[in-house]
Amino acid sequence: MENDTIAAIATAMGESSIAIIRVSGSDALTCVDHIYQGKNKLTTVLSHTVHYGHILDPDTKEKIDEVLVTVMLAPRTFTRENVVEISCHGGLIAVEQTLGALLKTGVRLAEPGEFTKRAFLNGRIDLSQAEAVIDLIRAKTDKAAKVAIRQSEGKLSTHIRALRNDIVETLAHLAVNVDYPEYDADILTSQYVVERCQAINQELERLLLTARQGKILREGIATAIIGRPNVGKSSLMNALTQENKAIVTDIPGTTRDVIEEYVNVRGIPLKLLDTAGIRETEDIVEQIGVQRSEEALRSADLVLLMLNHSEKLQTEDIRLLEKIKGFPTIIVINKLDLPKRIDYEEIRQRSGGKQIIPLSVKTEEGLSLLEEAIKVMFFAGQVDMNDQTYVSNARHIQLLEQAKQNILDVMSGVEQGVPLDMAEIDMKNAWQALGEVIGEAVAEDLIDQIFSQFCLGK
């Protein structure tokens, strides 16, 4: 059933001061009234008011918890249905028992994402806004959260709607011509269509261009720190994260596995990967670590190759300099505080002129240069979040690509003089693809699949 009354625990499980159970549906108030004892019946109170009382087991009448209950009446609610939120004491027992009591009154346990799905089905938000809610919950950095919040406010939807409007106008123009060919406005129409398509295509390309930045803002730049054992990779990781998560010792081969940590470097979110020092080794555990380092290297968006300022280049260093060809790489030369033994010119030649940052993690000299270099590398200047819409969702990117292809087909078709009703079909397909971004005309199973990614209670 689509409009039965549902409930779920909306807060994370575990010890906490308060936990919230959310109830939504037309019977939310009457159902909660069966287990709630307070001054007034909830069915009689005003919308958007909070009430003190107790939750009782409906069978035994035993007190389960002391609570505050918030009543919000349709349609001014998250789901656009009647909503009751019960604030229980945190911890597992009171919340589970309250939910259990509620389920005895005919309320059904919600599926993951079902509250947000109802907000979508009831027209409060569109699909890209609903997807932004998932992104917000999963955001690992400030910037990622900001992108998600903007999308949840419908910023992307506004662009998509404007594009669809442009397409409809162009279609209208086409339709006149297709239906009344006797007007003989063919040539004028072709010109008009091509011009409109160029503008539409430009906007689609602009949105697609933001996708790469959007992905980075959401997931962080996967940044692998690689290098020979003992050069100071874990030390750099700790310095950038300002934590001592990675173990540092003067024993080569200290790090055995890839350690992941999210950091914010000058507003750029990095997913830092500290890896095991790469060398030939007999140690099985270390061998696996080295393998994983090489995998981290292959999947990295950015590689920080670390060398030692106070040692001559070694075979392993040279091998690594070969390996990083074709990867966006910054060469970090660590231990600048020690006497120089490395040959910078050789590195420059062997790396094909990659950027080199000498620094000392120990004295922190040069660390800020590295941070700046990372930032410049990815944004070539300033990141302006204020009027940018970032497309960050794989599904949206795919649909935008598809719309772009349809528009390109319209243009090349018209230019080659194919009948205008063919162009009309491609144009309609672009309109359809963009509609799917905001959830207009999408298949039901796709909607189910999207909402099933949510956590319970959302």
Ligand X SMILES: Nc1nc2c(c(=O)[nH]1)N(C=O)[C@@H](CNc1ccc(C(=O)N[C@@H](CCC(=O)O)C(=O)O)cc1)CN2
Ligand Y SMILES: Nc1nc2c(ncn2[C@@H]2O[C@H](COP(=O)(O)OP(=O)(O)OP(=O)(O)O)[C@@H](O)[C@H]2O)c(=O)[nH]1
**Around Cβ 17, how many Cβ atoms within 10 Å?**
8
Q: Does residue 69 belong to the site contacting ligand Y (CB under 6 A)?
A: no
User: Which range touches ligand Y (CB under 6 A), out of 119-127, 210-218, 340-348, 359-367?
Assistant: 359-367
Residue nearest to Mg ion (CB): 255
- For ligand X, the binding residue among 18, 62, 66, 76 (CB under 6 A) is 76
Given ligand X, ligand Y, Mg ion, none, residue 85, with its beta carbon under 5 to 8 Å by kind, binds: ligand X
77 binds ligand X (CB under 6 A): yes
Q: Which is nearer to ligand Y, 159 or 335 (CB)?
A: 335
Of residues 76 and 266, the one with the C-beta less far from ligand X: 76
Please select the residue that binds Mg ion; options are 24, 82, 190, 234, rule is CB under 5 A. 234
Q: Which residue has the tokens 């690594």?
A: 320
- Asked if 78 touches ligand X (CB under 6 A), the answer is yes
* Annotation: binding site for K(+): 230, 249, 251, 254
Q: Which residue in 96, 166, 311, 337 binds ligand Y (CB under 6 A)? A: 337
The minimum distance between CB 224 and ligand Y, in angstroms, equals: 13
Residue identified by tokens 């300022």 is 309
Total chain residues near ligand X (CB under 6 A): 6
Angular region, 425: left φ>0, alpha ψ -120 to 50, beta rest: alpha
Q: How far is the CB of 380 from ligand X (least distance, A)?
A: 36
Distances (CA, A) of 159 to 7, 128, 207, 230, 394: 35, 12, 9, 51, 17
Nearer to ligand Y, 162 or 338 (CB): 338
161 forms part of the interface with ligand X (CB under 6 A) = no
**Contact region with Mg ion (CB under 5 A), list: 82-90, 213-221, 230-238, 336-344:** 230-238
Choose which of 77, 79, 152, 234 interacts with ligand Y (CB under 6 A): 234
Lookup: tokens for 388:
């940018």
Q: Which of 85, 126, 131, 286: binder of ligand X (CB under 6 A)?
A: 85
Cβ of residue 297: shortest distance to ligand Y, in angstroms?
A: 14
User: 3-state DSSP: the chain helix, strand, coil percent, rounded to 5?
Assistant: 45, 15, 35
Q: What is the SS3 assignment for 92-132?
A: HHHHHHHHHHHHCCCCEECCCCHHHHHHHHCCCCCHHHHHH
Q: Nearest Cα to 280, choosing from 224, 331, 320, 334?
A: 320
Q: Cα separation of 291 and 272, whole Å?
A: 17
Does position 297 bind ligand Y by CB under 6 A? no
**Could you tell me if residue 230 is left (phi over 0), alpha (psi between -120 and 50 degrees) or otherwise beta?**
left
Cβ atoms of 9 and 93 within 8 Å: the answer is no
Of the pair 99, 276, the CB lying nearest ligand Y is at 276
Nearer to ligand X, 84 or 330 (CB): 84
Q: Does residue number 241 form part of the binding site for ligand Y (CB under 6 A)?
A: no
Alpha helix positions (H), 309-454: 315-323, 344-351, 367-379, 394-415, 420-438, 444-451
* DSSP code, position 274: E
b/e map 59-89, b = 16+ CB within 10 Å: eeeeebbebebbbbbbeebbbbbbbbbbbbb
Please name the helix (run of DSSP H) or strand (run of DSSP E) that holds residue 208, with its range, or none. Answer: helix 186-219
Point out the annotated binding site for Mg(2+). 234, 255
Q: Is 308 in the site for Mg ion (CB under 5 A)?
A: no
The one among 34, 41, 124, 362 contacting ligand X by CB under 6 A: 124
Q: Which residues bind ligand Y (CB under 6 A)?
A: 227, 229-235, 248-250, 252-255, 276-277, 334-335, 337-338, 360-362
Q: Which residues bind ligand X (CB under 6 A)?
A: 20, 76-78, 85, 124
